[in-house]
Amino acid sequence: ASRQAAPPQARRFALGARLNDAALDTIFRTARTYNAWQPKPVPEAVLREAWDLARMGPTSANCCPARITFVVSAAAKERLKPAVSPGNLAKTMAAPAIAIIAYDLDFYTRLPELFPQNPAARSWYEGKPDAIQTTAFRNGSLQAAYFIVAARAVGLDCGPMSGFDNAKLDQEFFAGTQIKSNILCNLAYGDPTGLRPRSPRLDFDDACRIL
């Protein structure tokens, strides 16, 4: 007889609340921003798996404004090419997949579906462009970070960047919509020969305080 999967809460307590060192290394400690890639394709199934993890991260009222366009084909890369800054062009065109991580300014129209516990949630944003922009950008940026962590967790290496022309990219890929680009993230299996020495990070006492 087949066994039913344990509910998420049971799995969490069965496995413990802390990830092991190997997992922490994969997503943070030894993970790097890659600039060169192995000549291996990124399967669609892996991109789907990364999104299925990233979408579980929290956003304000579960608003979920992030929208990702995966640029994989040669034709799609040619469309992207004019928007990428010269310093990022070669490594981006060489990546097997590039994620255009954007946010949707019409996110609030999905709140009746995504936040059904409050039927009035859409009215928090409707007709309020400043609230729409702030909420979409903040939460879309959160989801971009979740996606990078999720991509690393499923075995991909990432090269996130902001060196591109947002207006040019939006005109090419999102014309006629309320979707706005936020970051690009090259996705692949990294070639470590292209790595630079890791840059320093701020220590706890430099960046944090406890009151």
Name the pTM for this structure.
0.91
**DSSP string of 100-136, one letter each residue:** EEEEETTGGGGHHHH-TT-TTGGGGTTT-HHHHHHHH
Closest CA to 68 of 131, 136, 132, 143: 143
Residue 210, classed as helix, strand or coil, is: coil
Sign (positive/negative) of CA torsion 76, 51, 151, 180?
positive
> Which amino acid, residue 65?
P
pLDDT of the chain, 211 residues: tens digit per residue: 444 555 555 555 555 678 999 999 999 999 999 999 999 999 999 999 999 999 999 999 999 999 999 999 999 999 999 999 999 999 999 999 999 999 999 999 999 999 999 999 999 999 999 999 999 999 999 999 999 999 999 999 999 999 999 999 999 999 999 999 999 999 999 999 989 999 999 999 999 999 9
Residue 91 near residue 159 (C-beta atoms within 8 A): yes
Residue 105 near residue 29 (C-beta atoms within 8 A): no
Kindly list the distances between the CA atom of residue 204 and the CA atoms of 26, 208, 209, 211, in Å, as whole numbers in the listed order. 21, 5, 8, 14
Distance, CA of 122 to CA of 4 (rounded, Å): 37
How many distinct helices (H) and strands (E) make up the chain?
9, 4
Residue 14: the pLDDT is 56
Distance, CA of 162 to CA of 134 (rounded, Å): 18
Distance, CA of 35 to CA of 20 (rounded, Å): 27
